[in-house]
Structure 1
């Protein structure tokens, strides 16, 4: 296998984000025509990746890498093989049509520039995800798809339904993202590398690891939530609150395919195990059937298509989970076909809504003569979705049936039933709005502008051309993609017309017969599914609301229980935990520091110690807060004197300044507040507070003793001695450290002092207008106030 380095991949990965920056400006200058200009960016990306087709078809790969965080072994690296290349072509190619479509669909919208920016960022996130080689970069792109989809789904933020759908998508996919993060870290730990290409070359390392099960479950958690597998399927239909360009892009080439991409990417190292071949086919089959049945129930064109996307994703997961060569080839073919026909049909649904004013299939009819181009594009997309000749969807269905022949009969039955129902929905979208008598619609229907019908027409033609030249399509694109998913060479012999009557062909005929019968009885079938769902009751969508409600209520109860509003309780708990943290480890391990020999102090040292003790006694004996604050300053001055006596005049001066300012500022603030006698606490409370205070002091003292008794490491000292003058040009090492080496920390400390000063100034100015007189209060009143928790913090 040959590998070539192409540095233009960095530019291709960054180009959508750069275009997103200028999109609002272009919209202000060109209006809706900005869509045609911005579409040049993904089109150029498409052409660049298309240039790699000969290399990848010959078994080669393309790479690009640069150090990102070398200290942590993180590189910004990209890897292009058959799987990532097809995804990149779909993302950039369909993305080109979506940007043009968005310009026509949202023409005149005041926020169209913002929409262009969001859709381009979304494109960049998905493109980066599928070509990223570094696991950390892959995860960052993964989360970025969730964030940008949140912005797109909630684009019409004035509507509560849009906000709910956006939040739901973010919470579900974000939760799966957390699971994936843990899985990525475990994969890197087991394999010893953060590069996906090296993970894929590790063979059975992950499968033989004791961490295989948690790794698999964590990866499935990320993939199942992103690709809307049951029971996480509910967020995807709700995402239809987004504008139609988002829906078309989301369902055809971007976010919902991310989970499938991840499973296909990791199939060579996580697949072909009993657990893999049990979980994926099971959940895939259930998702396939649930998605198609729920699609039958709908009358909204976008919701009908959205639920079939859920079903199609289930079919892809089912096929990937079999780990067989032919089933994986069928999955690759179906993913390619689905991207084409689903993108086209969603754009058709948007055109109908845009030009007729409704998406309700029961209120549409007779649009064939009014919208002939749209009708033709819809029919071509539906034929591919139904798996009929001569579209690429037919070839995909034949291959996937062949791949499932050796598996469970139940999986094969689920695939047949699901494909039959998808035929129903495909033709319901393509035929019912266009055939029959003309129905009065909210808007006078007519054919849309070229910006709207260009996308579905191009995608339909690509689906037709790829089927007519299926041998070339297979050898150049789909064969290398299947080989990357399977983890080895795949023998591909694709034909548009079956050369003989085979089991897959008979299953296709059975699918068509079942689908036509269900289509003719669609209204009765819709009522039957609706009644069944009514009997079942609320499902995962309503369950999501219940779970969120429970979490919110639990959080409120927990907050009220541990944050009652009393500062005294907060301080007590915090300091008690500090004391336990300091002393408990030493007590459990028996690593108490040895008590040093105490030299006899000189008379001036004893005097300073005596001053500190007198200050402590003054603080304890003080009867008012103001007296306690002033007395506390004695402690700080005593410490400053100790610094001076032991040869640290700079530190001593700083301590003098800080202590003086602290006493002055606190005194100034206290003069504006109630200076009544301090709270009268019962003896038990004083004992508890004193014990905690002494324990904390003892803990810090013992920790400092333990640290000073360790062997002194001079590496940092030698560094500062060597470089203080040569780098920072300063002789005073302490000053150099504060101002240069850790100048950002010093800036943060100054900011804290400034903010504190501003807060005190605000208190002084607010309290100065009505100063509370110092009035002694009866002791029993003070005690009662204390017992009620008068001084609270909310």
Structure 2
């Protein structure tokens, strides 16, 4: 399993070399890996029927760190979709991007993207899952901006990256809170725990943070705007992104955590509310668009909202509908996106208003598109029909908001039937359109993927017991948290879901017939809404970030060292002082009974010399007063029985004063470069920092969390190190490596200074 997950990264390294060797067959060669992975994952089909399979690989045994992979019905479903659809995507890309100068680079990123998604759905550890989660964001950013010479592609790639990574930061906090709540970072242990998490104090925070991450990833309202803009990516990327990867990552994580977090009302209500809103928003925007990729992208938003809503409903029937809809959507959306790329590739346009009558020049494409669109519309005998019927039945029996959810779902279904007509009827029937290129049938490599996916959807619709017995039963049990008994069939008789489905079909066909007349109005409404919608808010936010960055650069990063010091001192001592007062308060004991008059004299001398050095305009006087300060410190060391430190201090201060006096001859005359306000401000900050550090030192003397180590040094300096000067013994013996490091640093600095001086001397002797 470890090799299966990492194999995509390994093949990505070899992709450029293989591209030079395989040439135009590179897509078929690279597709052997995901095809092999699909076969490998299929070997787990029988095992997951009996429960989850946990695979553990020791990574750092000494630290008890391992790489664990959790294989159950849900993760196996995603793994098969990723590897199976990924096989046809790689083949498709070889034909779609044939001759592209960056084709090898494309395969490097695409294989890394596929491997990241496999790691995400199979990881058992929350931290490992998050690492792969972020890798999907990074690799999708590079794929969306693959045509990096296009300004719009770069802009859309950045937008997707900012939105998903911002959500990823929230997700990280949520996963950490979840681990604290359960006491484990293992998904298997979290799902097996019987502790009611919805009663935990962290539950609300964990749910909000996790949903912020999943909603941004899976384009839920109000974060839905980035997904249609991601259509700037090449069509193979769009097909893979929408069918089995990236946008399904958020849906996967919500489904994965549903057994643990779904007991709370906050979880279910948020998923139902945001899911229903996203479902209708996606259907509405899809029906009002004219670009075929935009239409399909917004229909993906609709599907993601539907999946989120079904997780929120949470019943056994809703979980069954969720898994069936997930599989059905992956099959028809992968096929439709690849067909959309074929239309663009062979006609030279994505605008469906310019297409028409293509069934004669592209008969195979038209046939496959018709069947895939039937699944999109939820019509028999495709698997999409079974998923749609289950969804309607689940909403009829929903425990809360049943009527509202059912109304929104039926309205969305009507619009999606119209969308299916736009995709399958508008380009291929009616009068011949005026396309930039003379249309002709797409090559075999671009049609095999859509054909196989559509055939699978047809077989699953006609023989639903095949996916039910093979995998779907285990997948539903994984999402629901316990085994679920259900039965899939193409025909359940005349019932309420069938009548609602028929009504959506009739109204949807009427909407499709009226589309040429109402589309301009829909476009105007959507355009006006877009100017004040979430995407407009995103651009305003980005402008605000730019303004703030410009301001803080002018104010804080202006190249003035004094400002840097001021900010660092104020912030550091401000936070330290607040923490001390909040956690400890000003409670310390200061016993001055044993102090002597000469100690007070030394203290006053130190204060006076520091004040004089700060206020004088004479550089020589300032240096002299700083020398007095240093000698006062040396005298303090001597009075408190540290003559060696005192001698060291005297030598250092003497040398410093001499050097400073010599340097004074090279400096210009003293000039006031600051205003009185700036000087008083600096004085206030300096006094504040001094007061805080003084209080902290006094507080440290009064607080002792551990037994002092000084007694150990006193007792062992002579017996162990044969020295009675404890300070010297500590430096030379007990902290020998630390002292050696300091000597090494000083030696390097001396060598550096010597080299610069020698270099300067050599330059002066050159003619």
Q: TM-score, normalised by structure 2?
A: 0.84
Q: Quick check: 1:633–1:663 contact (8 Å CA) kept in 2?
A: no
Q: 1:12-91 to 2 correspondence within 5 Å?
A: 12-67=4-59, 75-91=66-82
Q: What are the Cα deviations for residues 404-455 of structure 1, in whole angstroms up to 9, with x where unaligned?
A: 2213123222222222322222232223222234434222322233322222
Unaligned runs of 5+ in 2: 722-730
Q: 1:1-400 to 2 correspondence within 5 Å?
A: 9-67=1-59, 75-400=66-391
Distance across 2 between alignment mates of 1:302 and 1:694: 64
User: What is the aligned partner in structure 1 of residue 525 from structure 2?
Assistant: 532
Q: 1:460-475 to 2 correspondence within 5 Å?
A: 460-475=454-469
Q: Quick check: 2:355–2:435 contact (8 Å CA) kept in 1?
A: yes
Measured after TM superposition, the shift of residue 751 of structure 1 is 12
Change (3 A) 1:685 1:464: closer
Measured after TM superposition, the shift of residue 20 of structure 1 is 2.1
Measured after TM superposition, the shift of residue 359 of structure 1 is 0.9
Q: Quick check: 1:115–1:155 contact (8 Å CA) kept in 2?
A: yes
Change (3 A) 1:573 1:183: closer
Q: Secondary structure at the match of 1:78?
A: strand
Measured after TM superposition, the shift of residue 685 of structure 1 is 6.8
Give the paired residue count.
740
Distance across 2 between alignment mates of 1:229 and 1:297: 19
Measured after TM superposition, the shift of residue 254 of structure 1 is 0.5
Change (3 A) 1:693 1:81: closer
Q: Quick check: 1:633–1:660 contact (8 Å CA) kept in 2?
A: no
Q: What are the Cα deviations for residues 500-520 of structure 1, in whole angstroms up to 9, with x where unaligned?
A: 322222222222222222222
The answer to whether structure 1 residue 712 and structure 2 residue 704 are counterparts is: no
Distance across 2 between alignment mates of 1:517 and 1:464: 26
Match of 2:449 among 434, 442, 455: 455
Distance across 1 between alignment mates of 2:223 and 2:750: 49
Q: What are the Cα deviations for residues 721-758 of structure 1, in whole angstroms up to 9, with x where unaligned?
A: 9999xxxxx9844332355xxx6x999x7899699979
Q: What are the Cα deviations for residues 344-397 of structure 1, in whole angstroms up to 9, with x where unaligned?
A: 110111111112211111111232232233223222211211222222112211
Q: Which moved more, 1:280-289 or 1:81-90?
A: 280-289
User: What is the aligned partner in structure 1 of residue 415 from structure 2?
Assistant: 421
User: What is the aligned partner in structure 2 of residue 783 from structure 1?
Assistant: none
The answer to whether structure 1 residue 698 and structure 2 residue 694 are counterparts is: yes
Match of 2:508 among 501, 508, 515: 515
Q: Quick check: 2:586–2:699 contact (8 Å CA) kept in 1?
A: no
Distance across 2 between alignment mates of 1:758 and 1:27: 54
User: What is the aligned partner in structure 2 of residue 589 from structure 1?
Assistant: 585
Q: 1:742-781 to 2 correspondence within 5 Å?
A: none
Measured after TM superposition, the shift of residue 282 of structure 1 is 2.1
Measured after TM superposition, the shift of residue 237 of structure 1 is 0.5
Match of 1:541 among 535, 538, 555: 535
Measured after TM superposition, the shift of residue 283 of structure 1 is 1.8
Distance across 2 between alignment mates of 1:652 and 1:124: 65
Q: TM-score, normalised by structure 1?
A: 0.82
Q: Which moved more, 1:568-577 or 1:20-29?
A: 568-577
Q: Secondary structure at the match of 1:109?
A: coil
Distance across 2 between alignment mates of 1:668 and 1:34: 73
Measured after TM superposition, the shift of residue 709 of structure 1 is 10
User: What is the aligned partner in structure 2 of residue 575 from structure 1?
Assistant: 569
Q: Which moved more, 1:451-460 or 1:273-282?
A: 273-282
Q: What are the Cα deviations for residues 752-771 of structure 1, in whole angstroms up to 9, with x where unaligned?
A: 9699979999xx99xx9xxx
User: What is the aligned partner in structure 2 of residue 734 from structure 1?
Assistant: 735
Q: Which moved more, 1:310-319 or 1:162-171?
A: 162-171
Q: Quick check: 1:23–1:116 contact (8 Å CA) kept in 2?
A: yes
Distance across 2 between alignment mates of 1:30 and 1:311: 40
Unaligned runs of 5+ in 1: 1-8, 725-729, 769-794
Q: Quick check: 1:636–1:656 contact (8 Å CA) kept in 2?
A: no
Q: Quick check: 1:74–1:194 contact (8 Å CA) kept in 2?
A: no
Distance across 1 between alignment mates of 2:578 and 2:382: 72
